[in-house]
Structure 1
Amino acid sequence: MDTTVRSNSGVHLGQRISDLSKVLRTARQKEQEGDGTLKGIRAKRSRYTTNAWAKTSISKEPETLLLAKHQKLKHLAAELPTLVDSLTQDYHEYEKSLISLKTSGESDKAEKEMWQQLYKQHKREKEEVLKRKLELEIELDAKKMEIEQLTTKLEEKNDEIDGLAYLNRHLLTKELLSNQELQDARKELIVGLQQKRLNNSEGDFGLKIIGEIDDEPFLKICRLRYAPANADTKAAQLCSEWQEKLKNSKWHPFKIVRFHGENQEVVDEDDRELKNLKRKWGEEVYNAVTTALEELNEHNPSGRYVFYELWNFEANRKATMQEVINHIFKDQRSSAPAYDRDQQVKGTQKPSFHPESGSAEE
């Protein structure tokens, strides 16, 4: 609207300048006409100067009026160029303002379009944010439900774990009691076999003194090096010295080696004392000492003192309680009187207990 008003004002200003130019041209024409008229009057006056009748008949009033009009027109003609120049300058300045306003209007239009685009973009981004917010709220609700379900399951699992932990403690207690009973029974069985002097390797099962050095290699080497009267005494003395040395827990002639992906502790062949033993007394004595040392390190590493153990001489390992009990019952059957064996064959014997099944048999 402001642009339209200014445009109309510019048209009126141009029209006014055009009108003033026409007036200026008209004034100049009239000035020229007035100059001609004035000259004509003056010529007439000069012709009638000598004529007294002419002097009295020609009036000076028209000349005075024409002079006044002529001066007024000259003054107006003098002012008109200045006024036209001023109006022309104002018109040019207005044209510049109009051009500037037009440019400003175009800039405002571009800025308006830019703001409209920014508004649309902002509106679109806002819609996307709201949409994403709704999606996240839905996802959050789903996660909350999932967490609640997992919490419920976790509580159920905790209850189950508590029950299993209680059961495990109960079973562990029973296992400890059973192991203690088994160890007590094993000790009693060892004591009973000691009383029967079943501490040899003539049968498949018996007692073995773990960590005891075999004196046979010592006797053999001493009988070769010493007189018969002193050989046995020297062998017993030498074997006893090394037996005492094995009890020293500070002496630890072992090393760690990697075997089949696992760490194993074996005798260190580079140990100084063992090397001296092998060099001085030979391979058999060395093997007897290292065998006893390995047994103590495996079965009693903390104390390193000898002890009795139920042994399976055939398999060269510790015997289980079931193996020993079966062996004892087998010996009892084989040593039973002939009458009892006949009754067993006829099926009239007393019930016998089988440790494998844990039941009695008629």
Structure 2
Amino acid sequence: MDYSSDEESDISESEIVEYKEKPYEQLKTGKYKVKGTNGTLRCPFCAGKKKQDYRYKDLLQHASGVAKGSANRSAKQKANHLALAKYLETDLASESDQAPRAVEPKPVTRTQEQDDLFVWPWTGIITNIVTEQKNGNDLGDSAYWLKKFSKHKPLEVHTFWNDMDQTALAIVRFNNDWTGFMNATAFEKAFEADRHSKKEWNVQKQHPGSNIYGWVARADDYISEGPVGEYLRKTGELKTISDIVEAAKQDRNTIVANLANEIDLKNENLDELQYKYNEKSMSLSRMLEEKDKLHHAFYEETRKMQRLARDHVQRILGEQEKLNYELDSKRKELDNWSKELNKREALTEREKQKLDDEKKKGLKDMLSGRTNIGLKRMGELDEKPFLNTCKQRFSLEEANVQAYTLVSLWQENLKKPEWHPFKIVEVEGETLEIINEEDEKLQKLKQEWGDEIYMAVTKSLKEINEYNPSGRYTVFELWNFKEGRKATLKEVIQYILKNMKTLKRKR
């Protein structure tokens, strides 16, 4: 049964020793399981941890470490682990003798080899290699020997030549662990089985024949003269099996101790992380609760705002309907006023037109005939330039017809609103509208009929554009024919008074 931190409230530091008796009794009665079905040990108070496969020593160290843990540990955690330490020391002390022990491999089969000095890393020697090719293979090539002894898993092979007798030596390197030693031993035994070991080499080396000999390098090879001895001293060292075993034990013990310390640190870190996780969980729960409150408050406020907005919209719609009714009433009233105003305006315009017609008729009669002051149709073409040009090109009778035709044609052109041969320019900061001399129709007129007719047409264009640009028809204007300009009102009145006196004298 796993332990839950929520079963009881926490305790104070002063109650730890007293409280430990309760979980200790629960451990003894089996409420909390320490020993698993497969014989492994576990901490029932650290449920959920990945590390739940302890040795007796490691679990005791874990329990003692937590019991004396940092301030981040709760008092109840310390008390529970203190009870676990007591349970291990009192009730599971027999488990300490059953802790698994590392079994050292038996590196040699002969006891005398325990004190032999071997070259380490494990090294084999092959001698009496004849440099001639055998079955197409170059015996001096290291790849050949790696392949030949591949079942012993050599790491590399180095060859040394003897130019005097055309033979070679080979150094075979094996892995530096116990597996490498076993492979080196098997390498040596293979030569012993063929009676080509170092013992036979020492006997036969004066007349060795063509067979190769091999063995595992030892002290005599290490201190020997020549390239092999130099190579062995450069790349290896002498060690006994006992030395290697003892060094391995020390290394293992060091590694185990380091791992045990690291495990304790990891466990303590895990406990701290668990504590922080619990804090974060509680904080998250509070945040979620606060979020729910805020969400509820937001929902209520939203409903309130929607209700107020709905009431506001209804009030606006009511006011809008009232305004629409008032607007319709005002619109009808304005329509009636507009109709009445239009009627009165039409009457006023008709009376005004009659008055204007009458005035144009006290003036036309008074200013008619050959006078200096009179009425001129602004925009009306002067026929004289047309007649003068046509007389130069045609007979007298035909010239009159051509001149009349041209005047009629161009007078109609002047009335067309779509023809507007003007352009906008800026002169001394002032915007002016002038004749566009590049207009296609004007250019054609100038080319066909000359400058005199061209000037007459452009003059009428300017007058229409000045006096009636929208209507494009001729209008009357008081004109001073003597000076070729618009007559002033003073000039007109003086002229009329003068004529009236003349008429009176004649009468």
Does TM, scored on the shorter chain, surpass 0.5?
no
Higher Rg: 1
TM-score (normalised: structure 2): 0.34
Higher relative contact order (CA 8 A, sep 6+): 1
